[in-house]
Copies of this chain bind each other. A is one copy, B any other.
Amino acid sequence: MNKEFLEIAKNAKKASIKAQKLSNDIKNKALKTIAEFLEKGKSEVFEANNKDMQEAKSLLDSGEISQSIYNRLKLDENKMRDMIQGLIDISKLPDPVNKKLLERELDDGLILTKVSCPIGVLGIIFEARPDVISQISALAIKSSNAVILKGGKESINTNKAILGIINSALDTVEDFPKNMLNQVFSRDDVKEMLEADNYIDLIIPRGGNSLVQFIKSNTKIPVLGHADGICHIFVDESADLDMAKKIIIDAKTQYPSACNSVETLLISDKFTKSKELLSGLEHAGIKLVSNPESWHKEYSDKILAYKYVSSVDEAIDHINEYGSGHTESIITSNKENAEHFMDMVDSAGVYHNASTRFADGFRYGFGAEVGISTNKTHARGPVGMDGLVIYKYKLRGSGDTVIEYVNGEKHFTHKDLL
């Protein structure tokens, strides 16, 4: 590990230890102070962003970056307002740390409690969008985690300006630990992060499929996120076709590059002869394709793969085989089929008569979103701040030893007190 990165990682770890005891008041004060400093320092951020935009313009012209990266780089008054509001919103959420999850008397005077606590050090690797910095910083502060951020090189000046302002705000907050929010810049630093399993407890990638795939394949550290979003909608034989059309158009066209957009449509073969549904979709500007290569493709565009299936079970099998475990919906008026589909499809979100686009932390009412996870451990689906905490067990006794329980002289009472 290179010396400079090791120093950052060690300091972040130390900060995370101190942060375990951070009160909600100090954390909220930190968030509000950052909001004030960002409001005052806006012009400095816009200036840095202009510099990035100028450099990006020549990269765009030479074809080195895409138009969409270029667009996401731009930080305007609206985005800045959202960033600042986001900090205030997160300060209003309940403290995810120090929640009593269990309180149990093991025996007279021997009390076990399970309390939520921060995970430790988060490693965040993100592309273009510089507003991610303030969002992730806010989530980390509220959940008492330290963080090491690595943003895209295109937004390096904006990122430096934003984190600079955030850290000068934090310097003014009494009792807020130093080195909670750290930033690294080079491609080598990504390699260092992925290998720093002694210091970093969780990696959260915010970016495209190839970034996430690369990270998942190159680290022993747990990764929270999703690589693919191959969502399905199944139109069952008893579906209301008008409803189906409305939902599919929403799920495909409202924001086609979102990971919760539908990519594959499965249709009951009862409808093979009726062209009503498909022509309605084409009419809405959706390009339809149907070939086996498309079953595991994430188009992120107004392109939709479709396939006829003979039963709800064939739809379930197709989804469990080709899906990414993200979000799938059945359109049906048959309640039994709907419940069967929701039980048997092994995905983070299983819907009945609703658009896959609802898979989102804000729409679920979490107040904040860390990301969407297709993991089968820790956190699945849209992840709120709960995904940034774990728990520890506290046991308070008065000289208790196990030997008496092993010998049978004493017996556990196991009485829940909560």
Contacts and interface: CB of A to CB of B under 8 A. Distances in A.
Q: Of residues A201, A249, A358, A394, which shows the largest number of chain B Cβ atoms within 10 Å of its Cβ?
A: A358
Nearest to A405: B363
Nearest to A98: B343
A363 B247 contact: no
Contacts of A346: 16-17, 20, 120, 392
A396 interface: yes
Interface string A333-375: 0000010101110111111111101110001110000000001
A179 to B, nearest CB: 15
Contacts of A220: 216-217
Interface string A14-30: 00110011000000000
A16 B346 CA distance: 10
Contact of A343 (B20, B112, B250, B380): B20
A193 to B, nearest CB: 16
A365 B414 contact: yes
A222 B377 contact: yes
A365 to B, nearest CB: 4
Contacts of A312: none
Contact of A119 (B251, B340, B376): B376
A110 B365 contact: no
Contacts of A139: none
B353 A396 contact: yes
Contacts of A353: 396-400
A381 interface: yes
A76 interface: no
Contacts of A318: none
Contact of A250 (B16, B344, B401, B414): B401
A289 interface: no
Contacts of A247: 399-401
A392 B254 contact: no
A185 interface: no
Contacts of A395: 349-352, 354, 358
Contacts of A393: 348-350, 359, 364, 381-382
A380 B363 CA distance: 30
Contact of A112 (B340, B357, B364, B396): B364
Given A106-B363, A110-B354, A216-B220, A376 B120 contact: yes
A390 interface: yes
A106 B340 CA distance: 22
Contact of A377 (B202, B338, B347, B380): B202
A403 interface: yes
Contacts of A17: 320, 344, 346
Given A17-B320, A120-B346, A216-B220, A104 B365 contact: yes
Interface string A235-269: 00000100100110111001000000000000000
Given A353-B399, A355-B401, 11 more contacts: A17-B346, A21-B344, A112-B364, A119-B377, A202-B377, A216-B220, A224-B377, A254-B402, A349-B394, A355-B402, A363-B405
Sorted from nearest, which 7 A-B pairs have the closest CB atoms? A354-B397, A250-B401, A365-B414, A243-B399, A378-B378, A357-B402, A377-B378
